[in-house]
Structure 1
């Protein structure tokens, strides 16, 4: 009931509306469900597609955010409910599954059903997951994360191999929800193991090296002065006689943080050592069981990845020290729910302005209710926060900040652990570190459950009024009502294409090839959303990762090169124009192009006129801004 209520009025429009714009990422996630079932029903491997990138051959979907878990769930539902209703029903079901998974973890940790239930609500309908429901459908499937942590906890307590098997299967489940979540599971396991085995203590007999501390203090003062001078004066060069030294805030801040860490270690006489509570052989055996189980469950995915590598199509984003993608702004943690229609507007608008990738990638609010309850639960008797869960929350909060800390839209250049971890193979595939905030929310939810348990235990006579007050405050802040909805109606011109029994291809303009890190031309996910109706292969396309080889193969075709150039808003050279006209007959034969759809609200006048000329188009229909042509 909560899932229905907190998504209102979506339950009234299950077949006609979506929580995200179908012209954005939401359209691709709808396409995932449609494409997966279509390939499966036709006896083809759903990890490959010939539905996109005409006429350059089939593409594999190993590195695409393919949502295999929800795709599988959708297979029996689509014929009964329809594609849009299936998508929405699964969206609602994922909220319930997230809540239940978090409930199981919180109950195991706190031993309290009421606190665990409230923690499930906090996690499942948190600002992070609600915001992702407007664009990043895969991230809504977050249930594997608390389940994985629950299994790790049971594994440590019992040392039974069945929990290692369960953890391996859950890792595979996480990848089939969103590949980022598989990486998060690996980091959760590493952080859990590190917290268990690593001990940091003070050596009471050691004397801090005073001379070394003075040198470090002097270096700190010098670096702080340099950073301040560079920031105030705007200077990027330090001149001394004929010597010029380049300055930026990045290097001084990195050195300041490293020297501060070294000084703290020396002044407190900190010592670290490994104290495994179990023999290494035991951990290695259980880890091997989990890895082997995950590998077997991931065989379809691994086969597609190996094939992609063999074909030279594997894509890994380049990682640069200074210009890697940033994480969430530090202030994003400490604002009211930006999804709330009464008081979330200022926060929503600020997050939207702060980043090119918009609000959905930046929402990470911990809410006001949850931290308040945690403070009330642990502050009254000066009880310390449970160290393990506080460590998890802080560690992943630092990762979610990205490589450098941003505060109020200003890059402080203070490095976080992600500045180093992003260079670790596999881990560096996480291109959007702000998504680590989901793990922060999970840890906060556990602390919230423990705080509720503490409050109820402290005031047993008032447990129900306290529960009601906390629940009411939580639900009020989490409720994003009414939810903004987007029409899922597809223009009538695509029905004309769908009614054509011929095996032909479709070109929508503007066109291009786009992935999560780059764009050639100007591709819109709306084309793939429309494809779920007409079912015919498309020129161009949008996947999470597209290889440079694919882009080069498309641009070697003069007609596509010209269309990509004009779609991007650039001007054709005389050579491009000449080659496009010379190649058009071969392009039409090779592509088997049957229809061209021009979105006049997005296509430039030059693009429209050139396409009509080069492909000798005849207009046969129009619906709103969409014009339908045939060659």
Structure 2
């Protein structure tokens, strides 16, 4: 391969182009829009970037906010916060642009990093380019693109893997490690910190990669002679003991934090996601919506698809006779643990082997879900991102010398190019949904012009990763970046149970929440005038904004009754009902 910047320029341009194609129509709305569905998770990443910069600019702790759950506020330590995007927004001061730039950089650098890592063992540049495509643009990541941005921030992973291999040396059968290059240890630490600021699932993947790589040498896995019966007996015994042990732990009530419930099914590797442009069919979509197969029918968390070409080709290469030369000439021997790591991450995605909804065997990796703290990584299918990195590395390191032993350069280029084309067809998604800030309802822009610091939207509520109370539409997070007012509800990944209990303790909050949730109930106690006054002093709402769906509904009627005689004006703005104090006339 060429040296210098030109070595990376062409892959960088190709991955940038692919991001534009696979994320279309984002490129046409790069500064005003972001990929996502109305009312879904993508809104929180724009809010994350907005809140992080707002806190820093005000000299406040960016990991605590009172923009949500006002006035007490909430910690964001366990929130899916993506501080790396917040830091970028601190420079750009445009949260939507910061989100899109972060995604572009992550996809492109993920591809370039995997391209470089593959080149460590593979001489064919087209296969290296394809390795970058598989890791950066796997169907798993493209399926999560309109929903879970934190899972897409994987740029540090292949660079960390390279630095780890450069930094440490292991000896077979001996615990411990030897540092070869301290500069690369520092790089590992820096990239680990970047990953910490990006996504904790990806961070734990780095830890599993590092530990799994070391275990290959410490346990002498490469020295096992599988032609003898003893290793197979030990393997079978291990599987049986772990299966029974896992079952007993579950029956005894040891919490697994729903790790097995969220666990993958082999069908997730076989069925293309509904976002697939060419492979998704009515038949595959019906299977993905089938509740006997999946605990969450239709959920993006079921997606583990990596195409058909590469997995089938890997199975084929396992049957082929390898050339005596083995790996490509002048390649490091540190490739040996990668097949074991591929198997490890594959097993992590399947804590229990399920085949179209039928549980067959609980794997040793499932025991992780019974370990406190570690079982917070409760969506095992998200480890498939590492499978997407390791699969082409394992495959192409075997395929490249086999092709060189049998084909002339022109034939190798033709085969590699055809394989690249097939994978691009397999991976291509349908156009993604787009949220555009220019389409935010006018009522929220009018709220931004009102004096005061607090908006009380109707409906309102709390929502985290486990439960909900009332109605909290995630679109309110996007709208807050426009009107800049605090709101009493919250959409945060982890909210303490005590907060849910306390949320509607105020008599006015409780009455509104009851009327909102049970509009036909006549048992709601109407708050007294003193209670309404106390509520207004506590929340100091600049305005109440009633969604069109709740206009003239019982909660709106109650709100109107509670505010009668308190100077609030009511007017309609494009179907919304805005209740606010008269705006003072300018002097």
> What is the TM-score of this pair, normalised by structure 1?
0.75
Matched, 1:332 2:268: yes
CA contact (8 A) 1:131 1:359 kept: no
Supply the distance in 1 between the matched residues of 2:377 and 2:63 (Cα, whole angstroms). Answer: 21
State the partner residue of 2:349: 400
State the partner residue of 1:46: 62
State the partner residue of 2:14: none
Q: 1:600 aligns with which of 535, 548, 553?
A: 548
Structure 1 position 352, deviation (Å): 5.1
Change (3 A) 1:329 1:258: closer
1:83-98, aligned counterparts within 5 Å? 83-98=95-110
CA contact (8 A) 1:620 1:629 kept: yes
Change (3 A) 1:6 1:594: same
State the partner residue of 2:306: 366
Q: 2:441 aligns with which of 491, 497, 507?
A: 491
CA contact (8 A) 1:338 1:363 kept: no
1:206-245, aligned counterparts within 5 Å? none
Structure 1 position 538, deviation (Å): 0.8
Supply the distance in 1 between the matched residues of 2:206 and 2:372 (Cα, whole angstroms). Answer: 15
State the partner residue of 2:244: 255
State the partner residue of 1:35: 51
Secondary structure, aligned partner of 2:525? helix
Supply the distance in 2 between the matched residues of 1:602 and 1:348 (Cα, whole angstroms). Answer: 34
Structure 1 position 580, deviation (Å): 7.3
Q: 1:541 aligns with which of 484, 490, 493?
A: 490
Per-residue CA deviation, residues 247-295 of structure 1 (Å, 9 max, x unaligned), is xxxxx99439999xxxxxxxxxxxxxxxxxxxxxxxxxxxxxxxxxxxx
1:162-177, aligned counterparts within 5 Å? 162-177=183-198
CA contact (8 A) 1:115 1:448 kept: no
Aligned residue pairs: how many? 524
Supply the distance in 2 between the matched residues of 1:108 and 1:133 (Cα, whole angstroms). Answer: 29
Matched, 1:194 2:206: no
Structure 1 position 334, deviation (Å): 1.8
Per-residue CA deviation, residues 52-87 of structure 1 (Å, 9 max, x unaligned), is 1012x2322111111111221233223xxx443443
Q: 2:277 aligns with which of 338, 341, 344?
A: 341
CA contact (8 A) 1:364 1:437 kept: yes
Change (3 A) 1:533 1:207: closer
Change (3 A) 1:463 1:61: same
Per-residue CA deviation, residues 113-145 of structure 1 (Å, 9 max, x unaligned), is 332221001111101111111100111101222
Change (3 A) 1:343 1:601: farther
Supply the distance in 1 between the matched residues of 2:128 and 2:528 (Cα, whole angstroms). Answer: 63
Change (3 A) 1:350 1:15: farther
Per-residue CA deviation, residues 427-469 of structure 1 (Å, 9 max, x unaligned), is 1221322211112212113224324523542323312211221
CA contact (8 A) 1:563 1:611 kept: yes
Secondary structure, aligned partner of 1:597? strand
Supply the distance in 2 between the matched residues of 1:419 and 1:510 (Cα, whole angstroms). Answer: 40
Matched, 1:150 2:171: no
Alignment gaps of 5+ in structure 1: 211-215, 221-251, 260-317
CA contact (8 A) 2:459 2:471 kept: yes
Secondary structure, aligned partner of 1:177? coil
Secondary structure, aligned partner of 2:503? helix
Supply the distance in 2 between the matched residues of 1:190 and 1:478 (Cα, whole angstroms). Answer: 31
Matched, 1:619 2:556: no
Change (3 A) 1:203 1:338: closer
CA contact (8 A) 1:374 1:448 kept: yes
Supply the distance in 2 between the matched residues of 1:602 and 1:199 (Cα, whole angstroms). Answer: 65
Change (3 A) 1:105 1:600: same
Matched, 1:446 2:467: no
State the partner residue of 2:30: 14
Supply the distance in 1 between the matched residues of 2:34 and 2:507 (Cα, whole angstroms). Answer: 38
Structure 1 position 338, deviation (Å): 4.2
Matched, 1:26 2:47: no
Matched, 1:583 2:531: yes
Per-residue CA deviation, residues 323-357 of structure 1 (Å, 9 max, x unaligned), is 85422222111234542223224445643554548
- CA RMSD in angstroms comes to 3.4
Supply the distance in 2 between the matched residues of 1:472 and 1:180 (Cα, whole angstroms). Answer: 31
Structure 1 position 32, deviation (Å): 0.8
Alignment gaps of 5+ in structure 2: 1-16, 170-178, 249-253, 328-334, 582-587
Structure 1 position 160, deviation (Å): 2.1
Change (3 A) 1:603 1:187: farther
Supply the distance in 2 between the matched residues of 1:206 and 1:329 (Cα, whole angstroms). Answer: 30
1:345-494, aligned counterparts within 5 Å? 345-346=281-282, 347-348=284-285, 350-351=287-288, 354-356=294-296, 358-381=298-321, 388-402=337-351, 404-408=352-356, 410-412=357-359, 414-458=361-405, 459-461=407-409, 462-488=411-437, 489-494=439-444
Supply the distance in 2 between the matched residues of 1:628 and 1:257 (Cα, whole angstroms). Answer: 56
CA contact (8 A) 1:509 1:597 kept: yes
Supply the distance in 1 between the matched residues of 2:26 and 2:230 (Cα, whole angstroms). Answer: 65
Query: Quick check: 140-149 or 538-547, which moved more?
Result: 140-149
Matched, 1:524 2:473: yes
CA contact (8 A) 2:264 2:354 kept: yes
Supply the distance in 1 between the matched residues of 2:456 and 2:396 (Cα, whole angstroms). Answer: 53
Supply the distance in 1 between the matched residues of 2:516 and 2:151 (Cα, whole angstroms). Answer: 30
Supply the distance in 2 between the matched residues of 1:460 and 1:618 (Cα, whole angstroms). Answer: 81
Structure 1 position 382, deviation (Å): 6.0
1:314-329, aligned counterparts within 5 Å? 319-320=255-256, 325-329=261-265
Structure 1 position 472, deviation (Å): 1.0
Structure 1 position 537, deviation (Å): 0.4
CA contact (8 A) 2:261 2:295 kept: no
CA contact (8 A) 1:493 1:623 kept: yes
State the partner residue of 1:230: none
Structure 1 position 572, deviation (Å): 5.9
Structure 1 position 8, deviation (Å): 2.3
Query: Quick check: 413-422 or 389-398, which moved more?
Result: 413-422
Structure 1 position 417, deviation (Å): 3.1
